[in-house]
Structure 1
Amino acid sequence: MTSLLTRVRAKLFIRSSLTSMHALDGAYASAARGRSNDFEDLREYEHGDEVRDIDWRATARLRTPMIKRMRATRMHTVLFVVDTGRSMAALAAGDEPKRDLAVMTVGVLGMLALRHDDDFSVVMGDAERVRRLPPRRSEGALEQALRAIDGAATPRSPASARERLLDHVARTISRRMIVVVVTDEAPVGPDTERLLRRLRAQHDLLWVTLRDALPVLPTAQAPGAARRDVDSGWEVPGFLHGDEAVVREVIEQRTAERAHRDALLSALEISHAEIGAREQAVPELLRMLRRRAHAGV
C-alpha cells in the first residue's frame, strides 16, 4: 500500500522538481519563525526572496545568486484542526473527496513543520467525538496522522461539527501554537465568529477552506452521473442539472457566503486559503504563507 505521505510528495514535486519545496520552505520560515542569526546553509536565489539574504561572497564565487538560510532558534507546534465528519467524505470542487484535500493540506504543511524542526499535532473529530493526537516530530507520526484523517471521514461518519472542534481547542489548549483550521464551505455564523475571535487572541491562526462541489452540474447531466447529499442520501433530480437559473442561484449563494467568510477572516487578520483540487494545494498554500509573511503576522 502506497503511503499517503508518498502521495503528498508526488504532488508536491510533480511540477518542477524541488522548486515548490524550496519556495514553500522559504515562505514557511518567514511566516512561522521570524529571523535568526545562526547560519544554516546556502541555496540558489528564487523569485520572491529577500535581497538582504543574498550572500554576495558565495554569489561571486559560484557565479549565481545564493541565499543564506538561517537556523531558527524558536521551535513551534503546528496544530491542525481538521473536520472529519461525514461532510468531508463529500466531493470537492475537483470531484474528489474533500478528505483527500485535507490529507494533502496537512501533509504539505506537516512536512514543512518537520523540515523546520517544529512539532505538529492534530485535533480531529465530528459531532460525537473529538480526538487529539499528541505532538510529534517524525515522518512516521505524520503518516499515522494522515491515515487517521483519511480513515475518519467516511459517508458513515457522524455529522460534521466545526464549532465543536474550535471550542475544544479554545477550552483545552492554552500554550500558544500555530493553529491551522482545515474545513469546508459550511457557512460561517455568529458562533464560528465568536470562537475565531477567541482563538485569534490565543494562537497564530490560519484557515484553509476546501471548496465543495456544486450540487447541480452546470451542464446537462451525463448518463450515469449523479449528485447525492452525503447527510440525507437524497439524490439531486437529473432535470435540475444544466438548469441555468438553478445553477446561477447556487453560485450566487456560494459567492455571497464566500465573500462574508473572507471578509471576516481578513478583518480578524487570519491568513486563509481556498483549495478545490489537489493540484491547487501547493500554489494556494504557498500564496497563503507568502501573504502571511509579508503581512508580518
Structure 2
Amino acid sequence: MTTSLVQRVKSKLSIFAHRKARGMLDGEYGSVFKGRSLDFEDLRAYVPGDEVRDIDWKATARHGSPLIRRYVAVRRQTLLLVTDTGRNMAATSADGEDKKDIAVMALGILGYLALRHRDVVGLVAGDSAGSRSLPAKGGEAHLERLLREVHSRAGLSVPPSDLRVQLEHVARNYRQRMLLFVVADELLPDPGMEKLLRRLRAQHEILWLTIRDADLGAPGEQYDVADSLVLLSHLAGSEEVRRAYGLASAERTAGRVGMFRRLGIAEVTAGSSHEVVPAIFSLLERHRHGR
C-alpha cells in the first residue's frame, strides 16, 4: 500500500517540532492574514516568541504560570499552493534529494497548518506548457490529492519549467485575497517577473520557499534536466568551470534576494526535506515582522 503523503508530513512535523514548537508554528501561521476576524478558543502555556499582549493575566494569576489566549478564525481563509511541476523539479537539490520530494514536504506542511486553522487549501501547478488548478477545500483527503498531483506530474518526461506561466494563471484567475505559498526552483529574476510579482503582491499575501540547486559534484557525469544536456566529466571537475558556476550562482541568488526585498516578500531556502520545518517557521516569522 502506498504511504500517505499527508502522513509523511505529519511524521516530519512530529520528529522536528515538539509540542511547544508546533504551538509556535501554529501561532505564526495564524498571524499571516491581516484583519483576520477571530474568536477566542482556549488557553495554552506561554512559550518564548509569543506576543505579550496575548497573555491572559487573570488566568495566569490563577494558574501560577503565563497562559496565552488562543483564537480561531471566524471565517475561513484560502491558502493557494503554487508550484512548478516542470522538468526542473526532477533534478536533485543541494542535499541530493529529488526537488519534487522537498516541494511536496513544504507544500504539505503549510497545507496541514492551514487545515488545523480550518482554512481551505487549493493548488496551481504546471510547467511551461500550462497550469492545472484544483479548487480550495478542507480535509486531509483533499490535501493528499493536491500533494499527489504535484508528486506524480514532476518528471524528466514533462515540458521544461517556467514558473511565470503559473504566476500569470494566478493573476488572471484569482481575485479574492488569499495567501499564496510558492515553492519553486532557484528563480532567475528579471524586470518582467518583478512586475508580475508586484501585481500579485498588491492583491495577496505571498510566502516563498526556494529549493536550492545541487552544486557541481565530484568528477562524473552531470546531467542538466532543463535542456537534457550532459556536462562532460572533465568540465564538471574543472576548477575554472566550478569557479564560474559558483560566481554565476551567487549573482543569481543576490538578484533574487534583492528582488524579494524590494517587493516585501518573505523568502527562505531549503536544500533538503530536513530543512523544511525550520525554514517554514522562519518564513512565517519573517512575514509577520515584514522582513
Deviation string 1:121-168 (CA, Å, 9 cap, x unpaired) is 100111223110011111100011001100010111111121111111
Alpha-carbon distance, 1:19 to partner: 3.3
Contact 2:130 2:166 in 1 (8 A): no
CA deviation profile, 1:181-215 (whole Å, cap 9, x unmatched): 2111131122211211111122122222111112x
Contact in 1 for aligned 2:13/2:277 (Cα 8 Å):
yes
Whether contact under 8 Å (1:187, 1:257) holds in the other structure is yes
The 5 Å alignment of 1:175-214 reads 175-214=176-215
| Cα RMSD (Å) | 1.8
**Which among 236, 241, 245 is matched to residue 240 of structure 2?**
245
Evaluate the alpha carbon distance shift between residue 162 and residue 70 of structure 1 in structure 2; reply closer, same or farther with a 3 A threshold: same
Residues 278 and 198 from structure 1, CA distance in 2 versus in 1: closer, same or farther, beyond 3 angstroms? same
Contact 1:35–1:70 (Cα < 8 Å) also in 2: no
Q: Deviations over 1:207-258 (max 9, x none)?
A: 22111112x22xx43xxx5421113333322233453332222122111111
Q: Which residue in the other structure is 1:257 paired with?
A: 252
8 Å Cα contact 2:102-2:272 kept in structure 1 = yes
Q: Distance in 1 between matches of 2:119 and 2:60?
A: 30
Cα distance in structure 1, aligned partners of 2:52 and 2:36: 14
1:158-173 to 2 correspondences below 5 Å: 158-173=159-174
The TM-score with structure 2 as length reference comes to 0.93
How do 1:123-162 and structure 2 match up within 5 A?
123-162=124-163
Q: Which region of structure 1 is more displaced relative to structure 2, 136-145 or 31-40?
A: 31-40
Q: 259, 271, 274: which is aligned to 1:276?
A: 271
CA distance in 2: counterparts of 1:9 and 1:139, whole angstroms = 11
Give distance in 1, aligned partners of 2:221 and 2:68: 52
Provide the secondary structure at the position in 1 that maps to 2:164: helix
5+ residue gaps in structure 2?
A: none
Secondary structure of 1:200's partner? helix
Letter in 2 for 1:268: L
Distance 1:173 1:48, change over 3 A: same
| TM-score, structure 1 as length reference | 0.91
Of 280, 286, 289 in structure 2, the residue corresponding to residue 285 of structure 1 is: 280
AA of the residue aligned to 1:120: V
Distance 1:92 1:37, change over 3 A: closer
Contact 1:36–1:70 (Cα < 8 Å) also in 2: no
C-alpha distance in structure 2 between counterparts of 1:26 and 1:165, whole Å: 29
Structure 1: unaligned runs, 5 residues or longer: none
**Corresponding residue SS for 2:183:** strand
Deviation at 1:35, TM superposition (A): 6.2
The residue aligned with 2:103 is: 102
* Alpha-carbon contact 1:179-1:206 (below 8 Å) kept: yes
* Structure 1 stretch displaced more, 90-99 or 37-46: 37-46
Provide the rounded CA distance (Å) in 2 between the counterparts of 1:200 and 1:283. 24
Change (3 A) 1:33 1:113: farther
Deviation readout 1:86-134 (Å, 9 max, x if unpaired):
1111111111111111101110110111111111110011122311001
Give the conservation status (yes or no) of the 8 Å contact 2:29–2:113. yes
Q: Percent identity?
A: 44
Output the CA distance in 1 between the equivalents of 2:264 and 2:77. 20
SS at 2:222 equivalent: coil
Matched, 1:57 2:52: no
